[in-house]
Amino acid sequence: MSLFSAVEMAPRDPILGLNEQFAADTNPNKVNLGVGVYYDDNGKLPLLACVQKAEQAMMQAPKARGYLPIDGIAAYDSAVKNLVFGADSEPVKSGRVATVQGLGGTGGLKIGADFLKRLNPNAKVLISDPSWENHRALFTQAGFEVQSHRYYDAAKRGVDFDGMLADLKAAAPGTVVVLHACCHNPTGYDITPAQWDQVIATVKAGQLVPFLDMAYQGFGQGIAEDGVAVSKALAAGLSFFVSTSFSKSFSLYGERVGALSVLCQDKAEADRVLSQLKIMIRTNYSNPPTHGGSVVASVLNTPELRALWEEELAGMRTRIKQMRVALVEKLKAAGVQQDMGFITTQVGMFSYSGLNKDQMVRLRNEFGVYGTDTGRMCVAALNSKNIDYVCASIAKVI
Ligand code: PLP
């Protein structure tokens, strides 16, 4: 009898399982639209020029790698605050934002979840239906009961906003509401600024705790535009959480660069919150790694590199939009009768294509075109070379 004989095999991660199946597929035309990764028009993961320049500068003045402070690089944390709230904003100036460097956006979410669990152990967590797969798992692992609020309306091909608002209104005070700040994953449907006003007002009236997940700032409409939820929550006087990820916006997936920011009511409160966040970090992984954070801090804090980053980010954003337009046109040209125009109303990396499970399985098995069973496709993995094949394949299964 082994210590581990009762250990059950955990279910495979659905996306990683899809990647394995893709790797084993011998179809020469295969296309992987299952991932949540931006590829350039040559199907390559970009290494941004701003990142390369920052790394070159770092190599010219090599530094020893001591432990970082528990909350990370000070220049990084302040760059995150400036990006999320604005360098001249009142919360940054008054010092009422507690920010810690995290291991990607996931790390920021987890530190926040652990802190919230200690703060209010009986609170429930609300996530959108559907949401990023890991939201439910992460908050459940942190000890919360996770429920979902209505979001996607398949018939309307958009957001069931009335349903969403009604579910938020019905939530008990103290409920943590995880909101996708922009580029909703998996659907690609965001709510409008006017709808954000209503969501924020509902959150405030119901004394809910907003947790904004910002994994795609700059991938939707622009860096400032994608911050609309933050500015509105700020203007409403709320205390709230923001997790930031630079995985996509810097194409630094493997460096695990992200952050958690908590907007408090004053500096004294922020200092106390920060001290607790540090305990969450200290008892999990002690302190964050140096490289990715140094690169991002250097890019964000050096005007010339910052301008280059904004340009490169705009390039990625524009290419995704072009792919959306091309997808609609080419699906039509390939003979798809139904209006697929909804694809251009979606934003960010993903598109809920409206295809059902059977169609997605056929796409995969017969054509080597991989998306998730829910119909989600990564538009950021389309390019001028694979899009015709993808459209022709979709046309055959619709
Ligand atoms: N939140 C959402 C909505 C995401 O889509 C992702 C990544 O796909 C994350 C968080 C996690 O980002 P990271 O890879 O930086 O941990």
Decide: pTM greater than 0.90.
Answer: yes
CA–centroid distance, 246 to ligand 1, in Å, is 9
Q: Is 213 in the pocket of ligand 1 (CB under 6 A)?
A: yes
**Which of the four CATH numbers 3.30.450.20, 3.30.230.10, 3.90.1150.10, 3.30.2020.10 does domain 14-46+313-397 have?**
3.90.1150.10
- SS3 string of the chain? CCCCCCCCCCCCCHHHHHHHHHHHCCCCCCEECCCCCCCCCCCCCCCCHHHHHHHHHHHHCCCCCCCCCCCCCHHHHHHHHHHHHCCCCHHHHHCCEEEEEEEHHHHHHHHHHHHHHHHCCCCEEEEEECCCHHHHHHHHHCCCEEEEEECEECCCCEECHHHHHHHHHHCCCCCEEEEECCCCCCCCCCCCHHHHHHHHHHHHHCCCEEEEEECCCCCCCCCCHHHHHHHHHHHCCCCEEEEEECCCCCCCHHHCEEEEEEECCCHHHHHHHHHHHHHHHHCCCCCCCCHHHHHHHHHHHCHHHHHHHHHHHHHHHHHHHHHHHHHHHHHHHCCCCCCCHHHHHCCCCEEECCCCHHHHHHHHHHHCEECCCCCEEEHHHCCCCCHHHHHHHHHHHC
- Is the per-residue pLDDT at 14 higher than 80? no
Q: Encode pLDDT of 69-84 as tens digits.
A: 999 999 999 999 999 9
- What is the residue extent of each domain of the chain? 14-46+313-397, 67-301
Q: Is 132 in the pocket of ligand 1 (CB under 6 A)?
A: yes
The yes or no reply on domain 67-301 and CATH 3.40.640.10 is yes
- Is the per-residue pLDDT at 15 higher than 90? no
Nearest CA to ligand 1 atom 6: 215
Per-residue pLDDT, 5: 95
- Is the per-residue pLDDT at 255 higher than 80? yes
CA–centroid distance, 37 to ligand 1, in Å, is 10
CA–centroid distance, 159 to ligand 1, in Å, is 21
- Is the per-residue pLDDT at 184 higher than 90? yes
Per-residue pLDDT, 145: 98
Which of 247, 257, 296, 372 to probe ligand 1 with, by most ligand atoms within 8 A of CB? 247
Nearest CA to ligand 1 atom 7: 215
Q: Encode pLDDT of 274-319 as tens digits.
A: 999 999 999 999 999 999 999 999 999 999 999 999 999 999 999 9
- Is the per-residue pLDDT at 31 higher than 80? yes
Which of 101, 127, 132 to probe ligand 1 with, by most ligand atoms within 8 A of CB? 132
**Nearest atom (ligand 1) to Cα of 258:** 15
Q: Encode pLDDT of 49-59 as tens digits.
A: 999 999 999 99
Q: Is 81 in the pocket of ligand 1 (CB under 6 A)?
A: no
Q: Is 247 in the pocket of ligand 1 (CB under 6 A)?
A: yes
CA–centroid distance, 369 to ligand 1, in Å, is 23
Please compute the mean of the pLDDT values over residues 244-249 and round it to a whole number. Answer: 98
Q: Is 108 in the pocket of ligand 1 (CB under 6 A)?
A: no
pLDDT band at residue 12 using 50, 70 and 90 as cut-offs: confident
CA–centroid distance, 3 to ligand 1, in Å, is 35
